[in-house]
Chains A and B, each alone.
Chain A
Amino acid sequence: MSTIYFTEDHEWIAVEDGVGTVGITSFAQSQLGDVVFVEVPEVGITLDKGGEAAVVESVKAASEVYSPVSGDVVESNESLPDAPGTVNEDPQGEGWFFKVKLTDPSELDDLMDLVAYDAFVAEHS
């Protein structure tokens, strides 16, 4: 069973056995609109917490996806660049971007749980 955390930049990370699966939230995709281009990180690269990890673009705007934690990319969603609309259809499921092996699990303490994130969205939308 994984535990899910959220960032103020509207990424989610579901952590299980020291590996986090990362994507953007349903709120984020609704704000972005129709996603037409996705770039996922290469497997093996090292990400810093808060560093640029992936790219997501709608018809009008380009956005960066930041890594919620530090660690090495162990898997990328290779089907996503060919089907960017998946980010809109299932942002917190099939629309995941990459999986990262955490170097410092204590970084998760800085993130929000679902209740806190929902309150954050309500306050900022």
Chain B
Amino acid sequence: MTAHNPAADSADSPLVTPLHALHVELGARMVPFAGYDMPVQYPLGVLKEHLHTRAKAGLFDVSHMGQARLVGPDRIAALEALCPGELVKLKEGRQRYTVLTNDAGGILDDLMITNRGDDLFLVVNAACKDADLAHIEAHLAGFDARLERLEDRALVALQGPAAVGVMAGLDARAADMVFMSGMGLTLDGADCFVTRSGYTGEDGYEISVPADRADALARRLLAEEAVEAIGLGARDSLRLEAGLCLYGSDIDTTTTPVEAGLTWIIGKRRREDGGFPGAAVIQKQLAEGAPRLRVGLKPEGRAPVRAHAEIQDLDGKAVGEVTSGGFGPSLEGPMAMGYVPAALANEGTKVNVMVRGKALPAVIVSMPFQPHSYHRG
């Protein structure tokens, strides 16, 4: 038996997060991921960790992700010059999902931005963080703005229907937050910055906590009956069921936001005025349609289809590729996403996906595969 795990990276001497000792103590299986030694699963296992998060609450260590703050009077203009998001109208205390684009309209990374009043708080992907922050810094010339890396903070996510009760027990204000908002909370004596957001499709929170308080806070959260530690394995199956993109798989420098089905992140003013890298390409696709689109795929049988599997039309012609795929524990079946020509992207279109030399029938479906349960207030 030989296992293939496309998620595993190689690394010389992996970095560790402030929760590394806790992961090991909990019996996690550690794997190299984006240069870090990270927990892929705990003794509960991917399947039960996934289902537990949907039923109660899961605690994720996402401290490998990059945290930074952009300060200075021109911070909004400086960031708008690099991404298609409407940031001028982003109110204090509100969070937005956006992407950094390149001159071809491709995506350099996806990121979360929160307007904290006196700064913009940025969370970027682990594998991209050095490149992202260098890219932003390189484009600050001419703006009165400065980027500060927040190296001394850990990041944990508490996700699932029980998250609100657990958080409210630590700071009652957590219950009043709505989806995609952020505020400072005091959790277990630590000054945290908390957003009501996540990467699972569930209601939940992401907590930026001082690195030296992260272990104590994580243990405090895990002491709750409803909370289990959840690894990267279940994080991936949860986000895929939620139809959320994984950078490097579903979106990258060769995909535009329009092709990726992310036109909703492009502000109305930005569509008209442009003013971000690759605006001409993206505006043309908005006007004329993109040649290909990211779609959800539901394989008909039980066999999971995985990333890089070829998508064929019913005549056997190669038309695209699966970018993420696997088994959905809540869906109780296989699910995938990938790119197909626009003409084949309509819901209900039948295609075949090649798995081990066999054509498996699949149908184009709308995403998410599992309904979102965000708290919109």
A and B are interacting partners: yes
A11 to B337 Cα, complex, angstroms = 32
C-alpha spacing A66/B303, complex, angstroms: 19
Q: How many residues of B contact A (CB 8 A)?
A: 27
B137-176, CB under 8 A of A: which get 1 and which 0?
Answer: 0000000000000000000000000000000000000000
Give the residue name and chain of the A residue nearest to B306 (CB): A62
Q: Choose one: B40, B47, B304; the contact of A57 (CB below 8 Å).
A: B304
Q: Which A residues are CB-close (under 8 A) to B13?
A: none
Contact yes or no, B45 A33, CB < 8 A? yes
Q: Which chain B residues border A81 with CB–CB below 8 Å?
A: 302
Q: Is the CB of B46 within 8 A of A56?
A: no
A24's nearest neighbour on chain B, judged by CB, is: B1
- How far, in angstroms, from A61 to B50 measured CA to CA in the complex? 16
The answer to whether B233 and A28 touch across the interface, beta carbons within 8 angstroms, is no
67-87 of chain B: CB within 8 A of chain A: none
B40 contacts which chain A residues (CB < 8 A)? Answer: 60
B1 and A61 contacting across the interface, CB-CB below 8 Å: no
Using C-beta atoms within 8 Å of the partner chain, give the interface range for chain A: 20 to 34
Decide: A34 and B1 in contact? CB cutoff 8 A.
Answer: no
Residues of B within 8 A of A34 (CB): 45-48
Q: A60 touches which one: B7, B302, B303 (CB < 8 A)?
A: B7
A63 and B327 within 8 A (CB): no
Contact of B329 among A31, A59, A61, A62 (CB under 8 A): A59
**CB proximity of B134 to chain A, nearest CB, Å:** 31
Q: In the complex the two chains form, is B5's CB within 8 Å of A64's CB? A: no
Within the assembled complex, what's the spacing in Å between the Cα atoms of A10 and B1?
6
Q: Whole-angstrom distance between the alpha carbons of A61 and B6 in the complex?
A: 8
How far is A115 from B40 in the complex, measured between Cα atoms in Å? Answer: 30
Total number of A-B contacts with CB less than 8 angstroms?
Answer: 70
In the bound assembly, the distance between CA atoms of A33 and B231 in angstroms comes to: 13
In the complex, are the beta carbons of A59 and B4 less than 8 A apart?
A: no
A-facing mask of B303-314, CB < 8 A → 1, else 0?
110100000000
Contacts of B334 in A (CB 8 A): 37
- Is there contact, CB below 8 Å, between A37 and B1? no
- Complex Cα distance A55/B305, Å? 13
Please, how many angstroms separate the alpha-carbon atoms of A49 and B5 in the complex?
Answer: 24
Smallest distance from the beta carbon of B331 to chain A beta carbons, Å?
Answer: 11
A60, B326: Cβ atoms under 8 Å?
yes
B1/A59 in contact, CB under 8 A? no
Instruction: Collect the chain B residues with CB atoms within 8 Å of residue A104's CB.
Output: none
Report A24-52 CB contacts with B as 1/0, cut-off 8 Å: 10001001111011010000000000000
Is B356 among interface residues, defined by CB-CB distance under 8 A?
yes
- Whether A37 contacts B302 by the Cβ 8 Å rule is yes
Interface string of B207-240 (1 = CB under 8 A from A): 0000000000000000000000000011011000
Q: Assess whether B1 is in contact with A36, with CB atoms less than 8 Å apart.
A: no
Q: A60 and B46: CB pair below 8 A?
A: yes
> With A and B bound together, what is the CA distance between A33 and B1 in angstroms?
13
Contact A36 B47 (CB under 8 A): yes
Residues A59 and B303 in contact in the complex (CB < 8 Å), given A37-B327, A64-B2: no
Report whether B1 and A66 are in contact in the complex, using a CB–CB cutoff of 8 Å: yes
Which residue in B1, B48, B237 is a CB contact (below 8 Å) of A28? B1
In the bound complex, how far is the Cα of B329 from the Cα of A56, in angstroms? 16
Q: For the complex, is A89 an interface residue (Cβ under 8 Å from B)?
A: no
For A11, A57, A59, the residue with the greatest tally of chain B CB atoms inside 10 Å of its CB is A59
Contacting A at CB under 8 A, from B304-339, are: 304, 306, 326-327, 329, 334
A16 proximal to B (CB < 8 A): no
Q: Mark A53-91, 1 if CB is under 8 A from B, else 0.
A: 001111111111110000000000000010000000000
Q: Which residues of B contact A65 (CB under 8 A)?
A: 1
B88 near A: Cβ within 8 Å?
Answer: no
> When chains A and B are docked, how far (Å) is the Cα of A34 from the Cα of B41?
11
Query: What is the CB-to-nearest-CB distance from A49 to chain B, in angstroms, rounded to a whole number?
Result: 15
- A118 interface residue, CB < 8 Å from B? no
Known: A33-B41, A34-B45, A34-B46. Is A59-B237 also a contact (CB below 8 A)?
A: yes
Q: Is the CB of B302 within 8 A of A61?
A: no
Chain B residues lying within 8 Å of A28, measured Cβ to Cβ, are 1
Residues of A within 8 A of B302 (CB): 37, 81
- The distance from the CB of B332 to the nearest CB of chain A, in whole angstroms, is 9
A sample of 7 cross-chain residue pairs with beta-carbon separation below 8 angstroms, ordered by A number, consists of A33-B46, A36-B47, A37-B303, A55-B303, A60-B46, A60-B233, A62-B4
Q: What residues make up the interface of A, taking CB atoms closer than 8 Å to B?
A: 9-11, 24, 28, 31-34, 36-37, 39, 55-66, 81
- 4 interchain residue pairs of minimum CB distance: A34-B47, A36-B327, A59-B46, A63-B3
